[in-house]
Amino acid sequence: MSVPGDWYLVLAAVLFGIGAAGLVVRRNILVMYMCIELMLNAVNLTFVTFSRMLDDLGGQDAVFFVLVVAAAEVVVGLGIIVAIYRRRAGATADDVNSLKG
C-alpha cells in the first residue's frame, strides 16, 4: 500500500521549481550548485515514481546513471569554483563576467 503516484510527481515538480528559482535568485556560486542538486533530486524522484507506476525497471536504471553523472558534475564544478575563488576571493556569480561582450 502506498500513496498514489500523482502526489509524488507533484512533490517532485514543486521541488524542481524551488531549485530552479533558487538558481536564479541566489548569487553565491556554491549555493547555486546546491540548487542544481535539488533539481537533480526532483528528477530522480520522478524517475522512481514512474518506475513504480509503470512497473518498469528502466526508471531505476536511469536514476543510477543520474547519480554517477551528478557525482562527476559536482567534482568538476567544485574544481572550477575553487579555481575562481583563487583568482578573486569572495566572488559571486555577478563578478565572473570576464567573457561578457
Site for another protein in 10-29 (CB under 8 A): 10-11, 13-15, 17-19, 21-22, 24-28
8 lies in the binding site for another protein (CB under 8 A)? yes
Question: In whole angstroms, how close is the CB of 76 to another protein at the nearest point?
Answer: 5
| 31 scored as a contact of another protein (CB under 8 A) | yes
| 52 interacts with another protein by CB under 8 A | yes
Q: Work out whether 55 is an interface residue with another protein (CB under 8 A).
A: yes
Nearest-angstrom CA–CA distance, 88 and 18: 29
CA distances from 4 to 39, 40, 52, 67 (A): 22, 22, 10, 25
Residue located via cell numbers 533539481 = 39
